[in-house]
Amino acid sequence: MKNTARLLVALMGVVMVVAMVGCPKKVVKEEPIPPPPPPDTMPEIIEKPTTELNLATIHFDFDKYEIRKGDATILQGNSDQLKKAAGMNQTPMVTIEGYCDPIGTSEYNMALGQRRADAAKAYLMKLGVTNQLSTISYGEEKLVTTDAAQYEMNRRCEFKAAK
């Protein structure tokens, strides 16, 4: 019995030593990173000049989507900027966002905002803008003001150029 106990203790000791030591780890040899090329052999990066677009907002009369004379001048300026960008081989994606004041139902204002955005897009296309133009209506969702005396500020189209 003593021999069996000794053999069992010895066997457990061997198992514990093997478990603690484990298998040897594989050594991963790291490749050294080559140094960068000397500065005179690096290709020269030439950046194209870009034009910054500052597209102005136009406004509308109550319950209307026709372009007013003063706003036609603003659209002409927006058109000139977009044509200049196109002349520099830039084709920015422009989203025309139509907005309304909170008078009327949400459904009606969404439709009116879309008609306003579509009218601005059609006017820019008539002026010869060939950029990618898209329209969206926010209706009365994003008001500039909630003051009833200044609701005319909410009846607008904003022009957002994607970078």
- Average pLDDT across each block of 10 residues of the chain; the chain has 163 residues. List them in order: 74 70 68 76 56 86 91 92 82 89 91 94 89 88 87 91 76
Question: Is there a domain that residue 40 lies in?
Answer: no
Query: Rounded CA gap, 100 and 64, in Å?
Result: 10
Report pLDDT for 19.
65
The answer to the question of residue 139 being in a domain is yes
Measured in degrees and rounded to the nearest 5, phi and psi for residue 44 equal -85, 130
Distance CA(151)–CA(149), nearest Å, equals 6
Residue 106 lies in a domain: yes
Residue 156: the pLDDT is 92
153: CATH: 3.30.1330.60
In a domain, 7, yes or no: no
Indicate the pTM of the whole model. 0.66
pLDDT of residue 57: 92
